[in-house]
Amino acid sequence: AQSVTQPDIHITVSEGASLELRCNYSYGATPYLFWYVQSPGQGLQLLLKYFSGDTLVQGIKGFEAEFKRSQSSFNLRKPSVHWSDAAEYFCAAFPTTNNNDMRFGAGTRLTVKP
Amino acid sequence: DSGVTQTPKHLITATGQRVTLRCSPRSGDLSVYWYQQSLDQGLQFLIQYYNGEERAKGNILERFSAQQFPDLHSELNLSSLELGDSALYFCASSPGYLALTPGELFFGEGSRLTVL
């Protein structure tokens, strides 16, 4: 079955430290991949997306993600975390075949320590 | 501001009742998606409409229905409400049919439904 897995429910990092949020997907063919962020009381906002080509994609707010086909992963990274990055992060995938079902991972809640 | 508007923002009702959630997509977007976000189920895809027609169905209960009107706004109807229906309901829109024009979804701020 098609699915998106975020193994970490909650991650705490210190401000200024680096961050990596994990995402794995299970699809027959490589899907389109996305990372969204949800701040408290807000809707989801797109951070970045991968369709094809360069496996390292840059997004907004200093985030980047690396697509690794061999590991079926699309991990989100940021070199130096700011307190304002505290939020819930969702990985999502959409199959490239004729299907409109975008699936989301369970989310990873990021806490930033001062 | 994503450009997607959802009303109401908050709604409290009783079990057995029926409610309607409304969504206005971004100007020019033809596709509307409905998602349910609850603590135990995460973000679940419910249903998608494209230019007035239903295009995809996810984990939508039979007690729930939706439609997209000629002006492209959409409504999600929830009936015979149960305690477990308490959740945040998101609407999202995109310019086209995702399979043909893959792109991001633009999310509204959600409608929080509480069933007592």
What is the model's pLDDT at position A106?
92
Q: Is the pLDDT of residue A41 over 60?
A: yes
Give yes or no for B5 touching A (CB within 8 A): no
pLDDT digits (tens, 9 = 90+) for A43-60: 899 999 998 889 999 999
CB contact under 8 A, B45 and A102: yes
Q: How many residues appear in chain B?
A: 116
Cβ A1 vs Cβ A100: under 8 Å: no
Give yes or no for B46 touching A (CB within 8 A): no
Cβ B64 vs Cβ B45: under 8 Å: no
Q: Is the pLDDT of residue A6 over 90?
A: yes
Torsion of CA A18, B42, B94, B70, to 10 degrees: -160
* Pairwise CA distance, residues B113 & B116, whole Å: 10
CB contact under 8 A, B105 and A43: no
Mean pLDDT score, A29-45: 89
What is the model's pLDDT at position A15?
97
pLDDT digits (tens, 9 = 90+) for B26-78: 998 999 999 999 887 788 989 999 999 998 888 899 999 999 999 999 999 99
List the end-to-end C-alpha distance of chain A, in Å, as a whole number. Answer: 41
What is the model's pLDDT at position B100?
54
* Pairwise CA distance, residues B31 & B52, whole Å: 8
Q: Is the pLDDT of residue B98 over 60?
A: no
Task: Among A57-71, A78-92, B87-101, B102-116, name the one with the lowest average pLDDT.
Answer: B87-101
CB contact under 8 A, B98 and A100: yes
